[in-house]
């Protein structure tokens, strides 16, 4: 599933083709994805100006002139692809319609935004913009890891007396919004923290060290256009490149990249997810 850097990359790719532009026509080609689309979604989108695109955790939010906000979740295999952008941001002409093109937005500037999702684990909804933060999917989220509300005091407080493994704690969206398996593994490696350590047993300086490390990992991944492992594509259809910089994720049995470290990368399963780490560097 795309994590924060991938969703941020897609949002940035959509912005020049959508922000400030009217949706000339919306096509909704099926009644649902992960859950049913809101009633009359095509009608409610058609003719509306996209006032602003933003991201919250792993969701893309398009604020519309109608006072509604289109919430988009990519799910496991969802893609938001831009074609025919008159601003010259993308070199792609409109492709022929595909089987899994479930929602298509024809923009007033000639661009076409296609939501393609073969597995149909993605989702869309329409919310009232003024109360969007209170929506059940957004209200439970913790602070954005690249925002001002994510700081050392917050993480130390959240980890206090917590008996779950630090890997699980960092994946808890109530504590930090948008972090997923890939970037938690990479951050824990840089912090030299074993993923099975109890969050509440870590020293305050160790917990505090995670804050700038998480920010750095995410920022570097965004700069690289995210990580493409299976289905992820940027809005122009290109692959992300951060997977070439992984220190541990997906590198089971390979040598540790820390200079002079004799360790190899190990994989364990925690709560049904693979954790990758170096037993020499991470203790």
Catalytic residue positions?
A: 2-3, 58, 273
Structure tokens at 243: 């997977």
What Cα–Cα distance (Å) separates residue 94 from each residue in 31, 81, 111, 166, 197? 24, 10, 8, 46, 50
DSSP letters, 109-135, are TS-EEEEE-SS---EEEEEEGGGGGGS
Sequence-ordered alpha helix ranges (H) in 125-251: 152-159, 166-171, 181-191, 204-223
What Cα–Cα distance (Å) separates residue 60 from each residue in 32, 56, 87, 158, 234? 18, 7, 22, 26, 14
Whole-angstrom distance, CA of residue 164 vs CA of residue 199: 6
Max CA pair span of the chain: 62
R_g of the chain computed on alpha carbons:
20
The dihedral formed by the CA atoms of 82, 87, 89 and 95, expressed in degrees to the nearest 10: 30
Q: Indicate the helix (H) or strand (E) that contains 13.
A: helix 4-18
Whole-angstrom distance, CA of residue 176 vs CA of residue 160: 15
């Amino acid at each position: 599933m795309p994590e924060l850097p991938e969703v941020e990359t897609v949002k940035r790719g959509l912005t020049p083709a959508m922000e400030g532009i009217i949706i000339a026509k919306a096509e909704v080609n099926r009644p649902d994805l992960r859950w049913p689309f809101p009633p009359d979604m095509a009608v409610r989108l058609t003719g509306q100006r996209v006032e602003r695109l933003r991201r919250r955790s792993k969701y893309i939010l398009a604020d519309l002139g109608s006072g509604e906000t289109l919430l988009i979740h990519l799910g496991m295999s969802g893609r938001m692809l831009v074609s025919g952008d008159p601003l010259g941001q993308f070199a792609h002409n409109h492709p022929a319609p595909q089987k899994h093109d479930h929602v298509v937005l024809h923009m007033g500037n000639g661009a076409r935004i296609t939501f393609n999702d073969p597995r149909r684990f993605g989702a869309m909804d329409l919310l009232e913009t003024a109360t969007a933060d209170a929506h059940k999917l957004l209200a439970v989220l913790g602070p954005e890891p690249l925002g001002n509300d994510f700081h050392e005091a917050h993480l130390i407080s959240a980890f206090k007396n917590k008996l779950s493994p630090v890997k699980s704690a960092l994946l808890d969206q109530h504590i930090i919004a948008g972090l997923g398996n890939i970037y938690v593994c990479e951050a824990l490696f840089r912090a030299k923290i074993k993923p099975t350590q109890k969050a509440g047993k870590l020293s305050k300086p160790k917990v505090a060290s995670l804050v700038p490390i998480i920010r750095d990992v995410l920022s570097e991944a965004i700069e690289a256009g995210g990580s493409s492992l299976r289905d992820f594509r940027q809005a122009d259809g290109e692959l992300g490149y951060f997977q070439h910089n992984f220190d541990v994720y997906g590198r089971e049995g390979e040598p540790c990249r820390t200079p002079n470290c004799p360790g190899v990368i190990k994989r364990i399963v925690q709560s049904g997810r693979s954790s990758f780490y170096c037993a020499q560097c991470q203790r």
